[in-house]
Structure 1
């Protein structure tokens, strides 16, 4: 399979590309020998992100049409790493060029209205869309799902997820996201839906960034409560002004508790899990958790026909679409404006 990355900002160049290079070395039979192509939608140095040869790991082109002249859409995965507000135009252009295997950065859309537009584009061009959802491919999430599905600790009552990280500098210098709901909570809500089933929003709130005389509304942090149809409840807390990094998940069952920690950065790919049965001895484990690697690898295998038919991809897409509608409801509850930010 060939690779075409649209958007060479942080997600495209700093997250997707390093993982792709690692996977290309590990699975040479899945990836074509030719290097990935990239198109920088907002280049710092002009169209195409600078002259070819600046980066030996990726070759930039001046437009999606230029990439199409070199790529066969049937054997190409397009990574769409642009801000959510630009997705409709990008997907339309890709569809018109014949590209149909699309991997989109989370969240799929930032409003319910934008999601409806993307659905229309998908149907018009017959796009097969996957969403970057590393936490759903995480080893920690898989182990938690085994506990829930296996009824080991009884019925699941509550999920609590804390997502804290220092993001002030990026917030002040980029408008790629409209609210904190679009940054970390998509990971958490996706996991909550996987573990406890469909839900409705019970409450939601946002805080602002206020530092050095500058204020960015709705980007300081987010809080979200969910009531699941299974009877469980979830609470997601996200602080983007925190001085520390934390990705913690707590599951309370009728007969015990499980507490996990997702990796918080690229420097250490290990997760931690403590399972505490009621009246029993806590069980601690530490294990590798290369969630984004697993996400991209599974997506390529699906598009290459190695992991069954399109049903699994469609099921996951439906969950991601439900996630967008829940976050949209949360934004309305928190009083968030529906105006889109300038891309940055």
Structure 2
């Protein structure tokens, strides 16, 4: 069996990875082919870190990475790196130095181009198998969108619009892991856009501040990103982190129809919806279960066990991270997204997707 080591017990480490692993391990074991060992080893230096208590049998929490490494066998460990992006390289380098080769890394992969390049070199030098969290692209819903694009059931794809809106006041006020709204929701939708439409150039990027009573958090109110794909598709990514309601929608406009994908909004329901207009055999409102993160982690663990986990995923994640780095560098700060005309920046060529990623 493979031993999970979760580094960082904040929202993603505890609320997502740990909780999902606790569900996944007994479910797989019940099939007679156990894959994920419990308890998970958790590492977080903060006293009273969220999730550090854990459910008995699910988590053994320690305060230092050295303490966590003393409890694991590198040959059977899968390290989940759930730290803020700016410290990920150092954590991964320490894991590699200890002999850990299998890693699941939260998005975005790196906070700067230099860090990304260093991580790519480290991966090659230390022969690391790195999977970057991208459960949107691994979801059943994304799979249906890919089939529509591939088969051209509705004609060629012309435009993608993604809306990821949610109120994120409390987390933004109490944590500092993300320097801007570009690092919160946009990595999910950016990876999906590259996966569906292929390599792209940045056309525009802008952020605005998050305002709450007497507090102003620079660049954390939301973000817009505009892309021009080499395939001719255009993409608009919108994320409002001061929204009054939640929304996770992807609209794919084809030459002969439209597909609107509604991703699950939270942990209370794991069903996706797809509304297709314009094709007799595909048209309709489809509802289906889509527990994307559980499926993503199970696929990653099975890939680790068979030695086929991370290559394609890492290529897409690297392309996504490089485009995010360009967006950060070129980001214009505006008052509100609807108060400023969408001034388009000059296209910035960047290697954003592996060949054949479509």
TM-score by length of structure 2 reads: 0.87
Equivalent residues in 2 for 1:136-175, closer than 5 Å: 136-175=137-176
Secondary structure (helix, strand or coil) at the match of 1:324 reads helix
For residues 281 and 97 of structure 1, do their structure 2 counterparts lie closer, same or farther at Cα, with a shift above 3 Å needed?
A: closer
Deviation at 1:18, TM superposition (A): 1.1
Secondary structure (helix, strand or coil) at the match of 2:275 reads strand
Q: How many residue pairs were aligned?
A: 329
Hey, what's the Cα distance between the residues in 1 that align with 2:281 and 2:103?
A: 47
Deviation at 1:89, TM superposition (A): 1.3
TM-score by length of structure 1 reads: 0.90
Q: Does the CA-based 8 Å contact 2:211-2:217 persist in structure 1? A: yes
Q: Does the CA-based 8 Å contact 2:169-2:241 persist in structure 1? A: yes
Equivalent residues in 2 for 1:1-344, closer than 5 Å: 1-28=2-29, 29-41=33-45, 43-45=46-48, 55-277=56-278, 282-305=283-306, 309-310=307-308, 313-335=310-332
Q: Does the CA-based 8 Å contact 2:24-2:294 persist in structure 1? A: yes
Two-structure CA RMSD over aligned residues (Å): 2.0
Q: Does the CA-based 8 Å contact 1:272-1:287 persist in structure 2? A: yes
Hey, what's the Cα distance between the residues in 2 that align with 1:4 and 1:145?
A: 33
Unaligned runs of at least 5 residues, structure 2: 334-358
Q: Does the CA-based 8 Å contact 2:24-2:36 persist in structure 1? A: no
Deviation at 1:60, TM superposition (A): 1.2
Q: Does the CA-based 8 Å contact 2:38-2:59 persist in structure 1? A: no
Q: Does the CA-based 8 Å contact 1:65-1:97 persist in structure 2? A: no
Q: Does the CA-based 8 Å contact 2:104-2:131 persist in structure 1? A: yes
Aligned to 1:342: none
Deviation at 1:335, TM superposition (A): 4.3
Secondary structure (helix, strand or coil) at the match of 1:164 reads strand
Secondary structure (helix, strand or coil) at the match of 1:263 reads coil
Deviation at 1:67, TM superposition (A): 2.9
Secondary structure (helix, strand or coil) at the match of 2:232 reads coil
Secondary structure (helix, strand or coil) at the match of 2:155 reads coil
Deviations 1:177-212 (A, max 9, x none): 011011001110111011100101111110101221
